[in-house]
């Protein structure tokens, strides 16, 4: 679960610095708690390998001076010794490169796994994925942010840390070489002689500051453009997934032309965003390519006067040139990584938006005026429950009822959006409104929707997701709910959501509810795909299995009126659902063994006539 923060969700888009700070707070607990040992081991291994690698590069730089001085002096013995030492330096440098690779990528995998697990738990836990949809806080494509943006937001940070540490050590070390070998430069202008101390160091710093400042100024719009491009990519993927998910409806209604037009509009928007980003990158390329061509030449031009005067040897010139390029690369770390930093900021912003939305959900739930109480008699009680949408519009007004353990209430009439809000309020999902919902303490609630969603996998997992039931129990419940033909396929992995008809999915939902043994059952049009006789048989079977459970039958599905012993009829006025009447229970045929209790009289607490 994500930790709460003191600050509310910001009204405007946060700055790049705020995004980076928020991302650090979100992901920094990798170095604390049970993952701390692993995090620190790979962090220190990586840092140690980088430091040794920089010193290996310094050694190679000094080898250049040694070798070229030997060539200039025609010292064959010294040159041969240098040539013999070089393979050892290469072997050491290659080995350090392997250590850096293993440490870096292992660290990236573990860090990404930690952040992904944290966000996924926050999104899936407490049914926040659904509460986000209800709240309107949901950012676009949260699943894409967890699957892809977390990778793009964590992996580059490790590379940035490597580059930054290496750049700092490189700059300090090679500036020392420039200082000691380059020395000062005497210049005479208009008869005045003056000395520029550490002129190679000053030249390297001035050059790096100018180029980095220019890159930063020209590239400021890039993070925003990259974020817009990534959002466009996600929208295109979502549009295509939507066509696949609703393929049957689109094909039967011949609506493919409209869908194709919508995809074309989405893609045109994406193309425009890509082109805007390309134009901005082209401006940056002028600077990066120009600087790349100048960097190797500038130190040679600066060192030429001292070499021609004999103040520098050829080895000194080669060493100074290599040191100048190394310092330049270190100072121009931002230049070299500007695109990656911009892309990282875009991904970190998307991850942060999801985390902020999840925090907002928790804050909204904590501030809800709907009290969730513990009932004293094991039943369900709704006291003056008024439900609104997130904009404050009333959906359901002054709903009150009290159901003892074992009661079955049928709620019919014109509920509209109020029906969904009522179901979600009983399930503890609806945050807007006022009143109270009293439920049995530690009650297990099962909501059976009209269209049951089944994840890909075996039928056993779909029927018994938590486990704990024997093969015989699972097979028996399938047979009792008219699904005997599925018993041989119980361990077959396939897309059961598409393989089963609506009626069979509804039978499976009732069977799953029996295995789950809930204390409260909320059926939302859960028998719409069945005939009345079959629906009554199945509802009677479920009631026999859970005689003390409270059942709420919401909607006009077959069997609902006959199976209930309490009835409420809702009417809508001005878009608001209210209790219009409480009808007496209809006489239904007796249930099977362990069947329903005889109809009882129920007095709703809002003063409506007895049921």
Report the CATH number that the domain containing residue 136 is assigned in CATH: 1.20.1560.10
- At residue 511, the pLDDT reads 92
What pLDDT sits at residue 609?
36
Predicted pLDDT of residue 253: 67
Does some domain include residue 434? yes
Tell me which residue has tokens 């004999």: 310
Q: Is residue 602 part of a domain?
A: no
pLDDT of 540 over the 90 cut: yes
Decide if 230 is inside a domain.
yes
Of the residues 345, 366, 387, the one at which a domain ends: 366
pLDDT at 544: 92
* Residue 230 sits in the same domain as residue 279: yes
Q: How far is CA 284 from CA 24, 329, 459, in A?
A: 28, 17, 55
pLDDT grade for 545, boundaries at 50, 70 and 90 = very high
Say yes or no: 274 and 408 in one domain. Answer: no
Is residue 610 pLDDT above 80, yes or no? no
Assess if residue 289 is contained within a domain: yes
Are residues 444 and 329 part of one domain? no
Whether residue 336 is found in the same domain as residue 457: no
Q: Which residue has the higher pLDDT, 534 or 372?
A: 534
Helix axes 471-480, 502-516, angle to 10 degrees: 130
In percent, how much of the chain has pLDDT > 90?
A: 7
- Give the per-residue pLDDT at 135: 62
Tell me, what CATH number does 453's domain have? 3.40.50.300
Highest-pLDDT range among 170-179, 276-285, 410-419 = 276-285
Q: Verify that 166 and 218 share a domain, yes or no.
A: yes
Say if 28 falls within a structural domain: yes
So what's the pLDDT on residue 527?
92
Residue 364 confidence (pLDDT): 57
- Per cent of the chain over pLDDT 70 is 85
Among 316, 345, 366, residue at a domain's last position: 366
**Would you state the pLDDT for residue 537?**
92
pLDDT computed for residue 363 by the predictor: 63
Q: What is the mean pLDDT of the chain?
A: 79
Residues 581, 584, 590, 594: is their CA dihedral positive or negative? positive
Mean per-residue pLDDT for 417-444?
Answer: 81
Three-state DSSP class for residue 594: coil
CB atoms within 10 A of CB 491: 10
Q: Is 152 found in the same domain as 42?
A: yes
Q: Which residue has the higher pLDDT, 448 or 497?
A: 448
Residues 422 and 337 both lie in one domain = no
pLDDT for residue 595: 40
Query: 297 and 252, same structural domain?
Result: yes
Q: Which of 170, 179, 173, 182 is nearest to 300 (CA)?
A: 182
- pLDDT bin (cut points 50, 70, 90) of residue 601 is very low
CA distance 497 to 490: 14
More confident residue, 569 or 178: 569
411 in the same domain as 343: no
Which of the residue ranges 243-257, 438-452, 595-609 would you say has the lowest mean pLDDT?
A: 595-609
Residue 346 in this model has a pLDDT that exceeds 90: no
How far is residue 367 from each of residues 358, 360, 438, 442, measured CA to CA in Å?
14, 10, 18, 22
Q: State which of 366, 392, 407 marks the end of a domain.
A: 366
Give the count of domains, the chain: 2
Give the residue numbers spanning the domain of 486. Answer: 369-581
Q: What is the pLDDT of residue 32?
A: 86
Residue 84 has pLDDT above 80, yes or no: yes
Residue 42 domain-assigned (yes or no):
yes
386 and 292 part of one domain: no
pLDDT interval class at 590 (50, 70, 90): very low
Looking at the structure, tell me whether residues 188 and 42 fall in a common domain.
Answer: yes
Residue 12: pLDDT band with limits 50, 70, 90: low
Q: What is the pLDDT of residue 9?
A: 41
Helices and strands counted in the chain (H then E): 20, 14
Most confident by average pLDDT, 4-18, 141-155, 470-484, 594-608: 470-484
| Local confidence band at 611 (pLDDT 50, 70, 90 cut-offs) | very low
- Would the pLDDT of 113 be above 60? yes
pLDDT of residue 594: 39
Q: Establish if 279 belongs to a structural domain.
A: yes
Residues 167 and 296 in one domain: yes
Tokens in use for 214?
């220019």
Mean pLDDT of 409-436: 79
Give mean pLDDT, residues 308-322: 78
> For residue 598, is it within any domain?
no
β-pair partners for 559: none
CA distances 415 to 281, 382, 568, 595, Å, are 55, 16, 11, 29
């Amino acid at each position: 679960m994500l930790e709460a923060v003191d600050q509310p969700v910001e009204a405007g888009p946060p700055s790049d610095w705020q995004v980076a700070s928020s991302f650090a707070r979100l992901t920094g607990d990798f170095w604390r708690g049970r993952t701390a040992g692993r995090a620190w081991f790979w962090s220190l291994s990586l840092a140690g390998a980088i430091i040794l690698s920089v010193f290996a590069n310094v050694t190679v730089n000094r080898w250049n001076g040694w070798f070229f001085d030997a060539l200039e002096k025609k010292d064959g013995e010294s040159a041969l010794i240098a040539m013999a030492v070089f393979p050892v330096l290469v072997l050491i440098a290659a080995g350090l490169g392997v250590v850096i690779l293993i440490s870096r990528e292992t660290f990236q995998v573990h860090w990404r796994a930690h952040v992904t697990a944290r966000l996924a738990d926050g999104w899936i836990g407490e049914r926040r994925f659904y509460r986000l949809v209800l709240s309107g806080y949901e950012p676009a494509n949260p699943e894409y942010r967890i699957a892809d943006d977390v990778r793009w937001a964590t992996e580059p940070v490790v590379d940035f840390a490597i580059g930054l540490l290496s750049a700092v050590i490189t700059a300090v070390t090679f500036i020392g070489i420039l200082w000691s070998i380059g020395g000062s430069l005497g210049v005479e202008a208009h008869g005045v002689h003056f000395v520029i101390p550490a002129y190679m160091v000053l030249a390297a710093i001035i050059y790096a500051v100018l180029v980095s400042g220019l890159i930063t100024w020209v590239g400021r719009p890039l993070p925003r453009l990259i974020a817009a491009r990534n959002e466009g990519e996600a929208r295109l993927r979502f549009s295509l997934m939507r066509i696949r998910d609703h393929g049957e409806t689109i094909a039967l209604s011949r609506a493919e032309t409209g869908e194709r037009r919508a995809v074309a509009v989405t893609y045109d928007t994406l193309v425009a965003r890509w082109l805007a980003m390309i134009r901005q990158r082209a401006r940056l390329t002028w600077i990066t390519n120009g600087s790349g061509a100048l960097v190797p030449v500038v130190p040679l031009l600066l060192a030429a006067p001292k070499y021609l005067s004999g103040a520098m040897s050829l080895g000194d010139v080669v060493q100074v040139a290599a040191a100048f390029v190394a310092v330049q690369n270190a100072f121009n770390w931002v230049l070299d990584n500007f695109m990656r930093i911009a892309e990282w900021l875009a991904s970190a912003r998307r991850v942060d938006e999801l985390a902020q939305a999840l925090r907002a959900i928790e804050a909204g739930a904590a501030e809800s005026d709907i009290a969730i109480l513990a009932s004293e008699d094991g039943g369900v009680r709704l006291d003056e429950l008024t439900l609104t949408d997130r904009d404050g519009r009333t959906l359901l007004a002054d709903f009150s009822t009290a159901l003892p353990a074992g009661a079955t209430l049928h709620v019919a009439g014109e509920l509209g959006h109020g029906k969904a809000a009522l179901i979600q309020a009983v399930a503890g999902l609806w945050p807007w409104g006022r009143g109270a919902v009293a439920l049995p303490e530690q009650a297990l609630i099962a909501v059976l929707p009209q269209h049951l969603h089944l994840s890909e996998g075996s039928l056993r997992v779909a029927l018994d997701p938590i486990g704990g039931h024997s093969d015989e129990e699972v097979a028996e419940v399938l047979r009792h709910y008219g699904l005997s033909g599925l018993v041989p396929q119980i361990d077959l992995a396939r897309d059961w959501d598409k393989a089963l008809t609506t009626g069979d999915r509804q039978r499976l939902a009732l069977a799953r509810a029996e295995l789950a043994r809930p204390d409260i059952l909320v059926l939302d049009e859960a028998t719409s795909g069945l005939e009345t006789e079959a629906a009554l048989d199945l509802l009677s079977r479920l009631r026999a299995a859970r005689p003390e459970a409270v059942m709420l039958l919401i909607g006009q599905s077959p069997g609902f009126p006959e199976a209930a012993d309490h009835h409420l009829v809702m009417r809508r006025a001005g878009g608001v659902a209210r209790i219009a009447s409480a009808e007496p229970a209809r006489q239904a045929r007796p249930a099977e063994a362990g069947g329903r209790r005889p109809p009882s009289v129920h007095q709703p607490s809002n003063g409506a006539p007895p049921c």
